[in-house]
Amino acid sequence: MPRRPRLALPNIPLHLIQRGNNRQACFFADEDYRFYLEWLAEYAGKTGCSLHAYVLMTNHVHLLISADSAEAPGALMKALGQRYVQYVNRVYRRSGTLWEGRFRSCPIQEEAYLLACQRYIELNPVRASMVEHPGDYRWSSYRANGEGEENALIRPHGLYEALGLEARSRQEAYRELFRYELEPGLVDQIRRATNGNFLLGSERFAMEVEAVIGRRTLPGKSGRPRKVAEPESGELFGGREVETVVCPRFSPVFLATDNKNAARMRRR
């Protein structure tokens, strides 16, 4: 089955994930995380990508980025991935691939989903039971977005900046979002969109994007399409038949009856 072309749009935030091959570890020591982040900053600058949020887990990476060019995220991940694999193979005396094929991604409708996706990313260590609070995990953007820690990697999105007039009020408002867990349905929606390379947004937003790019942006419904027949007298009113009874003194009257009553009326 052919792979779906990657869906990337200029100036539309992109959530992407890259996993270790066979879900094996891709970070082995603190120095590995530091080098990865150093090169992430370097290649994000070279490719014109703005990083809004990230988390480096033991065997995978989540990034939330924006770019003026649709090709920029792919260029970023190619350069970063190659540089990091060369480093790991040299330091740990290994060979072969480190990553699980292509990275997976989904464009995000900003107003409805961007801050939810940031929370999804920065809550990964909590969901994995590695820490109790996202601020306890060193290798994510939460300390920058939620606690004001200096981080040259982060370029806040406009929706984050709209949380408050100054840095302290923005951080307080952002921390308030983490008082509540993400709804399981929203977590599943983010995962399906990212793993399937679909759009994360409303149906209306998806239709607008589809009209521009000429391809499907949301997952199709499972199963064979349901055949829709022309309405007939026996298929209205929730499965109750409709009988047309002609009376000598009145115009036709429509009566909703169940199948048994309809048969009895026909016998009359």
DSSP state letter for 123: T
Judged by DSSP in three states, 106 sits in: strand
CB 103 within 8 A of CB 17: yes
Q: What angle do CA 157, 161, 165 make, to 5 degrees?
A: 170
Cβ neighbours around 189 below 10 Å, total = 20
CATH number at 14-213: 3.30.70.1290
Decide the pairing of beta strands 253-257 and 60-67: unpaired
The token duo for 87 is: 């480093």
pTM score: 0.78
**Domain residue spans of the chain:** 14-213, 233-267
Judged by DSSP in three states, 241 sits in: strand
Encode the chain (268 residues) as per-residue pLDDT tens digits.
456 667 778 889 999 999 999 889 999 999 999 999 999 999 999 999 999 999 999 999 999 999 989 899 999 999 999 999 999 999 999 988 899 888 999 999 888 899 999 999 999 999 999 999 999 999 999 999 999 999 999 999 999 999 999 999 999 999 999 998 899 999 999 999 999 888 898 888 888 888 777 766 776 554 454 444 443 434 333 333 333 333 333 333 333 333 444 444 444 4
